[in-house]
């Protein structure tokens, strides 16, 4: 059988200038060769939450109760499991309840300028909040911030007692950023504590924001900023067109 395409042999594969043609009878089916973008041209911003957008909740609880040991955070303690087990023991020893912590949180607001900063970068980029806080702690703040997407963990509550905690995934900040980059995104990440540094290392570019001097000294490879304007300009330099 012949046609304007020439001799047709059923099932024979022929290479064209811009793709591959499969010839079946008198019908020609063209498949397009699909490849990934050579360089990532789309961007995501990954931000820590406590200390970057909202106050440190455990410090607020410490100030309410007068328990100084609750002021220790990931800014001082790099071992998150050790930190949380210590907090749970303090809660049990002093009889501190979830209701008390919710009362403390009800009096807290996002840091000054945080909502405006978040709105501004969300207007330009996709933004994911990556936090080692817990969904029970994060929820009221996310409402105040316009319900951005947040990846975090979960507390195990029994009655009014915080009985335990459950990590959604160990080292979830780093793994999330690695996954975004595996999806061919450029990632600008910012945080303030030890538990943010693996995320910053995995990002296209990482930044410290209002980090304590000990973290800045140990990780001089990450530019350190103290204002939202500085941080937004740095993000724009990485992700902007």
Q: Within the chain, which residue ranges are assigned CATH 3.40.50.1000?
A: 42-55+111-239
pTM: 0.81
CATH number for 42-55+111-239: choose from 1.10.240.10, 3.40.50.1000, 1.10.1040.10, 3.40.50.740. 3.40.50.1000
- CB proximity list for 201: less than 8 A, separation 6 or greater: 174
For residue range 36-61, list pLDDT tens digits in order.
Answer: 777 778 999 999 999 999 999 999 99
Q: What is the mean pLDDT of residues 117-122?
A: 97
Catalytic residue from among 50, 132, 192, 196? 50
Q: Which of 130, 168, 133 is nearest to 150 (CA)?
A: 130
Q: Pick the residue with more confidence: 152 or 6?
A: 152
Q: Active site includes 221?
A: no
DSSP string, 123-160: TTSEEEEEEEEEHHHHHHHHHHTT--EEEEEEEEEETT
Give the number of C-alpha atoms closer than 13 A to the C-alpha of residue 20, restricted to the C-beta side.
Answer: 7
- Dihedral over Cα of 230, 227, 114, 82: its sign: positive
Whether the pLDDT of residue 144 is over 70: the answer is: yes
The encoded tokens of residue 3 equal: 């046609």
Q: Is the pLDDT of residue 149 over 80?
A: yes
pLDDT attached to residue 14: 47
From 39, 48, 89, 166, active-site residue: 48
Known active-site residue 196: no
Of the candidates 119, 126, 111, the one whose C-alpha atom is nearest the C-alpha of residue 146 is: 119
């Amino acid at each position: 059988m012949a046609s304007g395409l020439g001799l047709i042999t059923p099932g024979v594969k022929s290479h064209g200038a811009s793709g591959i043609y499969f010839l079946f009878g008198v019908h020609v089916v063209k498949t397009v060769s699909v490849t990934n973008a050579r360089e990532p041209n789309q961007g995501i911003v990954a931000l820590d939450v406590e200390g970057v957008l909202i106050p440190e909740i455990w410090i607020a609880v410490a100030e309410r109760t007068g328990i100084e040991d609750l002021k220790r955070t990931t800014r001082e303690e790099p071992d998150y499991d050790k930190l949380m087990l210590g907090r749970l023991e303090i809660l049990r020893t002093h009889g501190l309840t979830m209701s008390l912590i919710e009362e403390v949180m009800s009096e807290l607001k996002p840091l000054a300028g945080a909502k405006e900063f978040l709105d501004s970068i969300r207007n330009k980029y996709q933004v994911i909040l990556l936090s080692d806080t817990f969904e029970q702690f994060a929820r009221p703040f996310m409402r105040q911030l316009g319900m951005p997407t947040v990846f975090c963990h979960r507390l195990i509550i029994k009655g009014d007692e915080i009985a335990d905690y459950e990590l959604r995934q160990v080292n979830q900040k780093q793994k999330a950023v690695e996954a975004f980059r595996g999806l061919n995104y450029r990632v600008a990440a910012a945080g303030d504590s030890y538990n943010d540094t693996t995320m910053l290392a995995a990002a296209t570019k990482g930044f410290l924001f209002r980090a304590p001097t000990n973290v800045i000294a140990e990780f001089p490879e990450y530019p350190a900023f103290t204002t939202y304007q500085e941080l937004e300009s740095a993000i724009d330099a990485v992700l902007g067109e």
